[in-house]
Chains A and B, each alone.
Chain A
Amino acid sequence: MNKVTLRVTFTGPRSGSGSAEAVLDCNSGRSPDALPRLQPLTDEDRNRKGTHVTDTAIQQPSQRTVEDLDRLVIRFAGDSGDGMQLTGDRFTSASALFGNDLATLPDFPAEIRAPAGTIHGVSAFQVQVASETVTTPGDAPTVLVAMNPAALRSELDRLEVGGTVIINSDAFVERNLDKAGYSDDPLTDGTLDHYNTYLIPMTSLTKEVCKDLGVKPRDAERSKNFFALGVVSWLFDRPTQPTLDWVEEKFAKRPLVAAANAAAFKAGHAFGETTEMFQATYKVRPAELEPGTYTSINGNTALSWGLIAAAQQAKLPLFLASYPITPASDVLHELSGRKNFGVRTFQAEDEIAAVCAAVGASFGGHIGVTTTSGPGLALKAETIGLALSIELPLLVIDIQRGGPSTGLPTKTEASDLNLALYGRHGEAPLPVVAAYSPSQCFFAAIEAVRIALKYRTPVILLSDGYLANGSEPWRLPDRDDLPDISVDFTTQFNDADSDGNPVFRPYKRDPQTLARPWAVPGTPDLMHRVGGIEKEDVTGNISYTPANHGLMTELRAAKVDGIAADIPPTMLDSDGPAAVAVLSWGSVWGSVTSAVRRVRAGGSAVDHLHLTHLNPLHADLGDLLGRYRTVLVPEMNLGQLASIVRSRYLIDVKSITKVEGVPFTASEIAAAIAGAVDDD
């Protein structure tokens, strides 16, 4: 029996206030039969300004209400070393298993361990869980878990007024307050007056509960995030078993750590249940989702699995060559662990070597793929031009982040559209595909590989930091529903010379797709040379003839333009006639979808057009755009798509921009739509 005495203070408009001590049985996760006992208050407690403590004995916890919530947005924030990403991830998993729809937003600093306790070191994780469909991690959180003063200082402004703050009060000591830049104690100076605040000494409670396990106090302290997770799991009625199972499996080789984390989690859960601190618990019922088997997935994992699926559907081996870069490295990590699928992964010496190795692999008949983020895409430009000129399949995946230069490595942005479309010398068009939700990265990867193989062209697939790390429930596709994207290698002569002798012409194109034949080394008789110097049409020999260069330039462009007939139409979400439309690409899809729903619920009409392909653009887009009096284009850049649409269709769309390293909130877009509807 592992029991611990808890001591807490609490205050706030909804919860009332009080102080309590409870004896918890942390093995069962339930309070022991003995009633919680009242602990006399110390002077220090009484002197804490603004924290209204009483000496009233705690009642047996029984009269709490259970409130139903349609949705909950909770933000976990702490120091980088506090395990907030893990805590958020576990809460998410438990919610997913419970059947909620959800979307997450990990938000962490670029430094692995910025100085502890500082604002720079704050790592946060936001998740929206709902009983209805959600497409964003939520706007303002309704609950903030703050593990230290820096987390409170950096995150409190995001919280909706009247929201709930759950605080690790042990961390609010002078040293930490200084580091966070607080001159007064925010727990007592009125900072928290407009919030429901729960002060819980999580560090000491965690240490206490771990004492008998043989865990050193310093190590025990590291489990305080599980205590926090236990509290919110209880408060929001999350199932506990998935977390306990996960702890057991994850830390199987470190039984002491597993025991400490499990004990802290159970203690947190028991704490919520036992103390009278919380007047209500909250339920977010399962969402009505389409029937099927679900898993929780983030964008980079979905992308990795999509590449594996694409290779299987193409019946070709996958070769991934990459140089580590945030936020793309996880694709390299995931695929390097999937060698049993025949996936070769290659960590190159630099970004250029990575894309070159991928081109070499494609020349050899493999699916050459390279993953990167903005700075890496800039470095790869010349090689992408080579692949375009020698017309070999190549997939370049850019997980966009804040730029320019090093920019904001761990923050999201969608500002590489121009680079993807135009970032090469010469006339060098190539297909560009953009993923729009974490799970959809799976299908975007297959689509990008399909185009690359069929048209023998480099393809750039754009994802971003938000999609990469954000997660959502995903109804798993049936393999039979995935497209067959296999192509044939050329193994026979494809032409005859003037004497009628059979020959191989490496640039004799397929009349439908304009793709050139793909004959791989090892194929007898079809030896040929490719290179970056301009090639003669059909023969592929070096040619400096003026007219030939014009012809080849036009053929390369026509090949890419022609793909418009081979891609789905613009995604159109319409609910009846509307004069206003929102046009989106990439991850802003989620915020727009949510905003459009909100605006329609308010009685206004608005359409949502979404682009899954940025080059070529969907064939129906021009006609569609012509239907609206106002077209809004929200982008996490300064209006790159808006400029393209204006120049291409001569439609003066209204650009809405945000370049702050964080996604648009649905409210921001809803407000813009409302403005447009009013003006209309």
Chain B
Amino acid sequence: MTTDMSTGPTTTKADWTSDQEPRWCPGCGDYSILSAMQLLMPQLGARPENTVFVSGIGCAARFPYYMKTYGMHGIHGRAPALATGLATCRPDLDVWVVGGDGDILSIGGNHLLHALRRNVKIKILLFNNQIYGLTKGQYSPTSEIGKVTKSTPLGSVDEPLNPLSVALGAEATFVARTHDMDRTHMQHMFRRAWEHSGAAFVEVYQNCNVFNDGAFAEITKKDKRPSMLISLQHGEPIRFGAEGERGVIMNRSGELQIVEVADVGEEKLLIHDERAETPSLAFALSRLSSGPFMPTPIGVYRAVEGPEYASHVSRQLAFAQDRSGPGDLHALLRSRATWEVA
């Protein structure tokens, strides 16, 4: 994935934009994510012919149609499985998976877990809007308790999933969060995911302006961001606020806690370590906020190197050939007891 950028980008946004008109609702957060991606690709030095977007079903899952790359719009929930087969056979490709919270966490939750724990080189972008959009407004596995939707007229009684906790629980080697209102931050997260050697999971808070408008407004509106978004920087104390006046510490019971820096002193602030060997700290960070109405960390929670799946598979093929020689069909058919009939 190393690219010679000395001569500058060899592609432009147009090279990544297909001739298909996006069919998302006007004002959908998906537009800004698409645009961020199309603008980023030339900067990465990626090649359209070596890039594949794979998706399942849902609004987000239309994403591949709009990228002028190879793409597969699959079936509901199965994008990580489709992508796993492709990435296992073709480690030379950049394989991205795009899906919504229903697609990736509900019907496809199982595949997400296994793609992450195998560390297949696929980049999974979860467009989390906390609602089913394409089926017109039912609650999703990330909808908050009490959510009134078409299928929960008295409010949802389902405890929501925390996507980052799930990913970290599956020992994902790269976990990040961003949101659709900040192109620069999105691009930074997508770049980090692209550069990562194994499976990457990026949750994108995405606004569904038709069925769940403003779900993240409390934390992503420009004037709210300083006080509500905690930008994680590796090796730096975790702090936020317009003046950096608030921060995160680990209290005596080992839980993370938001404090006024002035109250505890700078030296008590937790230093973010995205490369920590175990996902424990990242997991604690993923529990810091119980919803997009509290101060919420964004950025890279975890980025550790682990053995990548396809390279393991390839190494085993090479090992088997070294040990047994290249496959010989004639010999294989005669590998058990044989006899001659004259």
In whole angstroms, how far apart are the Cα atoms of A203 and B297 in the complex?
70
Q: A293-B334, A344-B88 are known contacts. Are A360 and B83 too (CB-CB below 8 A)?
A: yes
Is A666 at the interface (CB under 8 A from chain B)?
no
Bound-complex Cα distance A475 to B336 (A): 13
Contact A532 B336, CB 8 Å, known A290-B341, A522-B92: no
Q: Which of B298-342 contact A (CB under 8 A)?
A: 313, 316-317, 319-321, 323-327, 329-330, 332-334, 336-342
User: Known interface pairs A342-B317, A529-B72. Does A348 touch B336 (Cβ–Cβ under 8 Å)?
Assistant: no
Decide: A522 and B90 in contact? CB cutoff 8 A.
yes
B329 near A309 with CB under 8 A, answer: yes
| Interface of chain A residues 318 through 369 with chain B (CB within 8 A) | 319, 321, 338-344, 346, 348-350, 352-353, 356-361, 363-366, 368
Chain A residues with CB under 8 A of B325 = 340
CB distance from B218 to the nearest CB of A (A): 35
Binding site secondary structure of chain A: mixed
Contact in complex: A361, B65 (CB < 8 Å): no
Complex contact A360–B84 (CB within 8 A)? yes
Interface size for A (C-beta < 8 A) is 69
Is A99 on the interface with B (CB-CB < 8 A)?
yes
The answer to whether A525 and B49 have CB atoms under 8 Å apart is: yes
**B residues in contact with A521, CB < 8 Å:** 49-52, 70, 86, 90, 93
* Cross-chain contact A527 with B85 (CB below 8 angstroms): no
B residues near A518, Cβ cutoff 8 Å = none
Are A382 and B327 interface neighbours, CB within 8 A?
A: no
Contact of B86 among A364, A475, A528 (CB under 8 A): A364
Other-chain residue from A296, A349, A528, A542 in contact with B114 (beta carbon distance below 8 A): A349
Q: A319-B85, A521-B70, A529-B71 are in contact. Are A360 and B317 (CB under 8 A)?
A: no
* Beyond known contacts A348-B114, A360-B81: 6 more, CB 8 A cutoff: A96-B337, A305-B329, A339-B321, A340-B321, A356-B75, A360-B89
Q: How many Å lie between the Cα of A162 and that of B224 in the bound state? A: 93
B317 touches A364 (CB 8 A): no
Question: Could you give, for residues 89-124 of chain B, a 1 whenever the CB lies within 8 Å of some chain A CB and a 0 otherwise?
Answer: 110110000000000000000110110000000000
A309 and B329 CA atoms in complex are apart in Å by: 7
Binding site for B on A (CB under 8 A): 93, 96-97, 99, 242, 289-297, 305, 308-309, 312, 317, 319, 321, 338-344, 346, 348-350, 352-353, 356-361, 363-366, 368, 382-383, 385-386, 390, 475-477, 479, 521-533, 541-542
Considering the complex, give the chain A residue whose CB is closest to the CB of B74.
A386
Contact A353 B89 (CB under 8 A): no
Q: How far is the CA of A531 from the CA of B54 in the complex (A)?
A: 9
Chain A min CB distance to B340 (Å): 6
Interface residues on B, range: 35 or more
Q: Which of A242, A289, A529 contacts B337 (CB 8 A)?
A: A242
Mind listing 28 A-B residue pairs with CB under 8 Å? A292-B340, A294-B340, A295-B333, A308-B332, A338-B320, A338-B332, A339-B321, A341-B329, A341-B332, A342-B327, A346-B313, A349-B111, A349-B114, A350-B110, A356-B78, A357-B81, A357-B82, A360-B54, A361-B86, A361-B89, A363-B72, A364-B89, A385-B75, A479-B329, A527-B49, A528-B70, A529-B70, A531-B73
Q: Is B64 an interface residue (CB 8 A)?
A: yes
Let me know if A532 and B74 touch, CB within 8 A. yes
Residue of B nearest to A338 (CB): B327
Q: Closest CB-CB distance, B327 to chain A, in whole Å? A: 3
For the complex, is B2 an interface residue (Cβ under 8 Å from A)? Answer: no
Task: Point out the residue from A348, A364, A524 that lies within 8 Å of B49, measured CB to CB.
Answer: A524
Contact (A527, B69) CB under 8 Å given A293-B334, A521-B49, A522-B49: yes
Chain A residues whose CB sits within 8 angstroms of the CB of B82 once the complex forms = 356-357, 359-360, 363
Known: A293-B334, A530-B72. A99 touches B341 (CB 8 A): yes
A-B pairs with lowest CB-CB distance, top 10: A531-B73, A360-B85, A341-B327, A357-B85, A356-B81, A339-B320, A360-B86, A529-B71, A353-B81, A340-B320
- Roughly how many angstroms separate A674 CA and B339 CA in the complex, as a whole number? 38
Query: Is there an interface contact between B89 and A317, defined as CB atoms closer than 8 Å?
Result: yes
CB distance from B70 to the nearest CB of A (A): 4
Q: Which residues of A contact B71 (CB under 8 A)?
A: 527-531
Cβ contact within 8 Å between A295 and B336: yes
- A423→B159 CA distance, assembly (Å): 36
User: B78, B82, B85: which has the most chain A beta carbons within 10 Å?
Assistant: B85
User: How many angstroms between the C-alpha atoms of A530 and B74 in the bound complex?
Assistant: 8
**Does B20 make an interface contact (CB < 8 A)?**
yes
| Chain B nearest Cβ from A365, distance in angstroms | 8
B221 to chain A, nearest CB (A): 34
Note all chain A residues with C-beta closer than 8 A to B329: 305, 308-309, 312, 341, 479
B48 lies within 8 A of chain A by Cβ:
yes
Partner of A357, one of B64, B88, B324: B88
Chain A residues near B89 (CB-CB < 8 A): 317, 319, 344, 360-361, 364-366
Chain B residues in 8 Å Cβ range of A291:
341-342
Q: Are B338 and A361 in contact (CB under 8 A)?
A: no
Taking a contact as CB atoms under 8 Å apart, the answer to whether B78 and A353 are in contact is yes
List residues of chain A with CB within 8 A of the CB of B316: 339
Check if A346 sits within 8 Å of B85, measured CB to CB: yes
Given contacts A340-B320, A340-B325, A386-B75, contact A527 B86 (CB under 8 A): no
Contacts of A479 in B (CB 8 A): 329-330
Is B18's beta carbon under 8 Å from chain A? yes
Q: Any chain A CB within 8 A of the CB of B177?
A: no
B196 lies within 8 A of chain A by Cβ: no
B68 at the interface (CB under 8 A from A): yes
Residues from chain B with a CB closer than 8 A to the CB of A541 are 20
Interface of chain B residues 201 through 248 with chain A (CB within 8 A): none
Chain B residue numbers with a CB within 8 Å of A359 are: 74, 82, 85
B18, B72, B324 — most chain A CB neighbours (10 Å) = B72
Contacts of A364 in B (CB 8 A): 85-86, 89-90, 93
B319 cross-chain contacts in A, Cβ below 8 A: 339
Contact status A292-B341, CB under 8 Å: yes
**Contact of A305 with B333 in the complex, beta carbons under 8 Å:** yes
List the A residue with the shortest CB-CB distance to B68. Answer: A527
- Are A356 and B74 touching (Cβ within 8 A)? yes
Query: Contacting B111 at CB < 8 Å: which of A96, A353, A528?
Result: A353
What residues of B have a CB within 8 angstroms of the CB of A317 in the complex? Answer: 89
Q: Report which residue of B54, B75, B332 has the largest number of chain A beta carbons within 10 angstroms of its beta carbon.
A: B75
